[in-house]
Amino acid sequence: MANILIVEARFYEHLNDLLLEGARAAIEAAGHTHETITVPGALEVPGAIALAADAYDAFVAIGVVIRGETYHFEIVAGESARALMAMTLDGLAIGNGILTTENEAQALTRARRTEKDKGGEAAKAAIAMLELQKRFS
């Protein structure tokens, strides 16, 4: 049984609730335990994972970034994904459930468990990477 940390950028609460529901359900269905911590935004998610790297077996990154009128969307979406990918290349088991969408309707479709269930998919990805980590180490 693995202990998995869900790190959520709780900017859009109603969307995060949907992502968390999916992530928690997937982790529990696989027989693992989980805890959740909250950070201010998507850019802070990788830093929180780095701080907790030795305390958990795997990580699920949760959040929503919706395109606005400025370049800030590209910075947040790209840099959070880049940092998460760098940590996976360093051997951490991470599932990236940070949605990057054009609008709230797209985010809702991706977050709902009855539709895309990206929170659940991110948790399943973290678990799959943990299994690979165990296999190859």
Q: Mind listing the pLDDT tens digit for each residue in 69-78?
A: 888 999 999 9
Provide the whole-model pTM.
Answer: 0.97
Residues 6+ apart with CB under 8 A from 70: none
| Catalytic annotation, residues | 72
Per-residue pLDDT band for 109 (boundaries 50, 70, 90) equals: very high
Pick the CATH number of 3-136 from 3.20.140.10, 3.40.47.10, 3.30.2320.20, 3.40.50.960: 3.40.50.960
Pair 23, 122: CB distance under 8 Å: yes
d(CA 119, CA 101): 15
d(CA 65, CA 57): 26
Question: Residue range 95-105: average pLDDT?
Answer: 97
- As beta bridge partners, residue 65 has 100
> Domain ranges in the chain?
3-136
- Among 93, 106, 60, 61, CA closest to 79: 61
